[in-house]
Amino acid sequence: MSGDEFDIIRQHFTHQPVVREDVLLGVGDDAALLQVAAGAELVVCMDTLVAGVHFSADTPAAAIGHKALAVNLSDLAAMGAEPAWATLALTLPEYHPVWLSDFARGFFALADHYRVQLVGGDTTHGPLAVTVQVHGFIRNGKALRRSGAQPGDRIYVTGTLGDAGLALVLRAAAGEALRRRLDYPLPRIEAGLALRKYASAMIDVSDGLLADLGHLLEGGDLGARLDVDALPHSSAFLEAMEQPGPGPHPPFYELPLSAGDDYELCFTVSPQHCAAVEARLGGLVCGCTAIGVIEPQPGIRCHRRDGSDYRPATRGYLHFVGE
Ligand code: ADP
Ligand code: MG
């Protein structure tokens, strides 16, 4: 790619309807100048999507643009933060104007929705990879961390689990609804903001419920009891699991427990706040579901509604299961 092409690429990323007052200087200079309001902490995170590792070659460019931002906004949501700014590092194998405008469309549709302004980035030549960094705010001392859960706290998740994982298993046979859950995950920003007052700990489910819930337990040497019959499923998940697939379906409970990429929030709430949380999140599209309780003994113990034990089959996560 020539220098002219880099200029054109930058052009793709300078026209955005969202113009924030706290951006003193955005794309175009050597660096951006940003104003953090008094009384707020800056919340920063970054995630990279690499072609062939985090998405397949046939993923639409708009989906890559959306998801690169969405997975970062999901991390801000998990802190209870309000998003504000983003930077974008693009490594591109070739100059492809149609791909770039599709990518930008996916990226900016989500950025505009949450009033996130792209304030800078970098463009390089090489195997396709997209790194996004997002910046958000939280009132001093109010961020929700992975640590903070207490024995007796209820465990909740937003939305539904296993959809993105089933889309990956079914590949071309996955229906539109499951495919969208994989390609266009919706960061649970509103839920994260609503939970600032109530949750004791929170994480987003990017690597699978057992793995990510495990991170909530690590700090305090805590454990959890999970009711696998309470795990929330989408209607698309239930329908697809009932239909004969091209190959065998994974066992019913496995994807919601172990598959990644759903980008729901998993959080804990002390019993006195549960009614308020259910009312607040019940008013959001994603809703929330109680799936278990924090216990003092380390390990995650899964059980069925009839009280019998359920042993997750996924070997990779067996070390999270209690003895
Ligand atoms: P420098 O060589 O000084 O680092 P660059 O040519 O890399 O400058 O970038 C010039 C401007 O364009 C900077 O403001 C930078 O933040 C912005 N920019 C470069 N690539 C991107 C991109 N992919 N998305 C958004 N802004 C970008
Ligand atoms: Mg640069």
Q: What's the pLDDT tens digit per position in 158-184? A: 999 999 999 999 988 999 999 999 999
Q: How far apart are CA 42 and CA 35, in angstroms?
A: 10
For ligand 1, mutation pick of 6, 9, 10 (most atoms within 8 Å of CB):
10
Torsion-angle region of 309 (φ positive above 0: left; ψ -120 to 50: alpha; else: beta): beta
Q: Answer yes or no: is pLDDT of 120 > 80.
A: yes
Q: Answer yes or no: is pLDDT of 321 > 60.
A: no
Ligand 1 pocket list (CB less than 6 A) = 10, 13, 27-30, 88, 90, 118, 120-123
Distance 11 CA to ligand 1 centre (A): 10
Determine the topology of domain 154-303 in CATH.
Answer: Phosphoribosyl-aminoimidazole Synthetase; Chain A, domain 2 (3.90.650)
In the chain, CATH 3.30.1330.10 sits at: 5-139
- pLDDT for 282 equals 97
Q: Answer yes or no: is pLDDT of 105 > 50.
A: yes
The CATH class for the domain spanning 5-139 reads: alpha beta
Residue 157, burial from CB neighbour count under 10 angstroms (0-12, 13-18, 19+): buried
Torsion-angle region of 91 (φ positive above 0: left; ψ -120 to 50: alpha; else: beta): beta
In the chain, CATH 3.90.650.10 sits at: 154-303
Q: Strand pairing of 309-310 and 299-303?
A: antiparallel
Q: Give the other-Cβ count within 10 Å of 122's Cβ.
A: 12
Strands (E), 140-277: 154-158, 199-205, 223-227, 264-269
Report helix, strand and coil shares of the chain as percent, to nearest 5. 35, 30, 35
Distance 186 CA to ligand 1 centre (A): 27
Residue percentage of the chain with pLDDT more than 90: 86
Q: Strand pairing of 223-227 and 33-34?
A: unpaired
Distance 90 CA to ligand 2 centre (A): 11
CA 149 to chain centre: 20
| Predicted TM-score of the model (pTM) | 0.94
For ligand 1, atom 6: residue with the closest CA:
122
- pLDDT for 161 equals 98
